[in-house]
Amino acid sequence: GVPLSGPTHVLSMGGLIVQLNKEELDMLNGRCGYPVQKAMEILVALGEAYGAERMVPVTGVHMPSTTVLIAGDAGVEFLEELLDKGARFVVRTTTNPSAIDPCIWQSLRMPEEMVRKQLGFSEVFRQLGALTCHTCSPYHIGFTPRLGEHVASGESSNVVYFNSVLGARTNREGAPAAIAAALTGRVPGYGLHLTENRKGRVLVRVRTELHDSTDYGALGYLVGKAYTRTVPVFEGVPPFATSENLKYLGAALNSSGAIPLYHVVGVTPEAPTVEAAFQHGKPEQVLDVTETDIEGARAYLGRAEGDKVDWVVLGCPHASIWELRELAQLISGKRVSPNVEFWVCVAQPTKAYAQRMGYAQEIEKAGVKIVCETCPTVTCGRDIACKLGDKVTMATNSAKMAHYSPAECSVPAFYGTTQQCVEAAISGTWRCAR
């Protein structure tokens, strides 16, 4: 089922066989320039490693590792060299979060040197042809590949959203493969580009009501803990699940279980029925999830001790305009405690939209920082936590943030609804009850 753009030529490298069409062969032979040749070499090597038979044309790339803290000086120099040698991205390319908010970095306690380096790195991406939106939710600002469309994405939470909610097809690409895909418009056809690898494997029967996105996050987290690298099919999720509910479900599945694809019967595009989700086969396993299981996962995610809250973080993955509207409604007329730092992380266009709607003004008036293009785990979160005080604890509505903040920022988390997080921000203390 993999589309090809012309007759193929069989190329044998390292004893394995990869089929390339004439255009791809020209890329490999250097007829399209040095950067494209190197990119095609990377893709062929990757294809060999994973047993791909051919290349797949992609329409877009979401680029991972776009923070200077991950790329390091070597990564920045590599990209600068590509640019100098004439490299240009040939398909729509968006960028994952960076290490900074370019506008309010000072109030976020970000060091000037890091800001300078990041601005330079982002400029290289811009000159290569990327849309430097620096968000982990590019689908909230217009990058929405369609059902069956082949793309190349890094960023685990975006990979699972593209595959599951939109029905687009992508493996989780690292930076070298994503750069190579952006330069050639190709990826090797293996993994989730192939229909047979997209069939459901585990049936999850949801036997309880899901009240809000934190229940979806808890559900995803417990299923990811139970089964890694599988394809779960959820039955019993209401048909009116929102794109935000599904975003939190997928981000949690990927955090605990490295799961890049799930189906929800009657909700996601490849699962109109249970039979379709399993491609008319049988589930390998069946899991029933009860209210007790969801409560258990919520408790596990929110393991911070005591009740003091220093840092409230919403928008992981980056918040939508609807989430900003909800926050504005909850916090309007209130005031964040002077002892609490409150971030809501978004893409810049979402903030601009919220300003136009008046939501941003309500949120900022209450003392919340609307943080663009970054988040605590991709910036210097550990240093920022140190500047906030001793034994800092976080409150978040995101299972992914609750999972990563203890390791990435040395900050244990409380896990609860947006309303609970807002109440914690105002009082400076966590109340367990919803």
Give the tokens for residue 37.
Answer: 């040749």
Per CB under 6 A, the list member of 110, 345, 363, 395 interacting with ligand F3S is 345
Contacts with ligand F3S in 220-239 (CB under 6 A)?
Answer: none
Give the tokens for residue 155.
Answer: 């960023």
- CA–CA distance, 412 with 309 (Å, rounded to integer): 10
Q: Is 69 helix (H, G, I), strand (E, B) or coil?
A: helix
Per CB under 6 A, the list member of 159, 222, 241, 316 interacting with ligand F3S is 316
Per CB under 6 A, the list member of 134, 298, 318, 403 interacting with ligand F3S is 318
Q: Closer to ligand F3S by CB, 144 or 339: give it.
A: 144
In the complex, the smallest distance separating the C-beta of residue 308 from ligand F3S, rounded to whole angstroms, is 23
| Residue 43 vs residues 17, 49, 206: alpha-carbon distances, Å | 13, 10, 40
User: In residues, how long is the chain?
Assistant: 434
In the complex, the smallest distance separating the C-beta of residue 400 from ligand F3S, rounded to whole angstroms, is 5
Q: What is the x/- site pattern for ligand F3S, positions 100-139, by CB under 6 A?
A: ------------------------------------x---
Under a CB-based contact definition with an 8 Å cutoff, are residues 83 and 124 in contact?
A: yes
Q: Is 271 helix (H, G, I), strand (E, B) or coil?
A: coil
Per CB under 6 A, the list member of 97, 188, 191, 217 interacting with ligand F3S is 97
Contacts with ligand F3S in 240-279 (CB under 6 A)?
Answer: 251
| Residue 54 vs residues 2, 5, 135: alpha-carbon distances, Å | 8, 11, 31
Q: Can you give the C-alpha Rg of the chain in angstroms?
A: 22
Q: Closer to ligand F3S by CB, 132 or 157: give it.
A: 157
In the complex, the smallest distance separating the C-beta of residue 114 from ligand F3S, rounded to whole angstroms, is 16
Taking residue 280's Cβ as centre, other Cβ atoms within 10 Å add up to 10
Q: Does 99 bind ligand F3S (CB under 6 A)?
A: no
Give the tokens for residue 169.
Answer: 């097809």
- CA–CA distance, 343 with 326 (Å, rounded to integer): 15
What residues contact 196, with CB distance under 8 A and at least 6 apart?
279
> What is the maximum span of the chain, computed from C-alpha positions, in angstroms?
68
Q: Closer to ligand F3S by CB, 377 or 420: give it.
A: 377
Q: What is the x/- site pattern for ligand F3S, positions 398-417, by CB under 6 A?
A: --xx--x-------------
Q: Does 71 bind ligand F3S (CB under 6 A)?
A: no
In the complex, the smallest distance separating the C-beta of residue 405 from ligand F3S, rounded to whole angstroms, is 9
Contacts with ligand F3S in 351-390 (CB under 6 A)?
Answer: 375, 377-378
Strand partners, 289: 206
What residues contact 56, with CB distance under 8 A and at least 6 apart?
2, 3, 150, 186, 187, 188, 189, 193
Q: Does 317 bind ligand F3S (CB under 6 A)?
A: yes
Contacts with ligand F3S in 148-207 (CB under 6 A)?
Answer: 157
| Interaction site with ligand F3S (CB under 6 A) | 97, 136, 157, 251, 316-318, 345, 375, 377-378, 400-401, 404
